[in-house]
Amino acid sequence: MSIYFSAEIGSNHNQNKSRMYKLIDKAKEIGANSVKLQLFKAKKLWHPSWKEQFEVAKKRELPAVWIPEITDYCKKMDIQLGITPFDLGAVDVIKDFVDFIKISSYDILRMDLIEKCFNTGKRLVISTGEANISEIENIILKLREIGKYSKFLSIPFLHCYSSYPVKKENCDMSDITLLYTILRQYIYNPIVGYSDHSKDPDVIYEAYEKGANWVEFHLDLEDEEGCEGSGHCWRPNDIQVVIEEIRQREEELKYKRQLRADPSDGLRPCLELRNVGEINK
């Protein structure tokens, strides 16, 4: 499976539609497969006693009326769109306009939200954050309970650290292997990924080497700073280098695998590579 890159725009649109489209354009330009947004209302996100956080969130809200137009723009640009809803009402707003729905690591215990998102029929992506093993298992058991569980469940579970930013030395990508081991008990060939807050190429390379096949990263513009500017957002030129390097590694691995003997006649390379050679003569 080719690695999937998702550019998290988050609230870096600064409630500016023009800036939103610039971010989508950049995501496409650097090779991302999708962009992801967040839909929340401050009053449904933070308890009133946390006034400072409420005021910050209020300035970062995505206008819901933009969503149909953003969907059309993403289709025009041939890039997928995902949105993280933070309340049940937000699910109803986005369900007809997205390619996938992402569950935030902060909502990993919200079984009502997970169930409603899953029931939309859209692809679900779940960020595990600091979740423990039993919490991850509870999600799968919940999906089994509502009668839509399958051992072929196509839900990417993303390992991440819920710090903004997180230091390289605090990133242990062996947790990706652990997450795969947990999921393998319930799902045939599970999809495991990594949601990055480190802005460090080595961390993403290690995630890839450990088997992550879905990578999410926060994206900002090259010469401007969005409202999430706290050190965890990638600049386009920097993350493009990482994406291109991993794509190159994938091609090299694919080529090496094609050098194996084909089971049809026992000769090397495989038929696919032989056919390419014939075409290029």
Question: What CATH number was assigned to the domain covering residues 4-279?
Answer: 3.20.20.70
Rounded Cα distance, 131 and 48, in Å: 26
How many degrees, rounded to 5, is the angle at CA 146 between CA 143 and CA 147?
A: 90
Domain parsing of the chain, residue ranges: 4-279
Question: What pLDDT digit, counting tens, does each position of 185-240 carry?
Answer: 988 889 999 999 999 999 999 999 999 999 999 999 998 888 887 789 999 999 99
User: What is the pTM assigned to this prediction?
Assistant: 0.91
Residues 110-149 have pLDDT tens digits of: 999 999 999 999 999 999 987 899 999 998 888 877 765 5
Our CA dihedral for 38, 39, 42, 47, rounded to 10 degrees, sits at -80
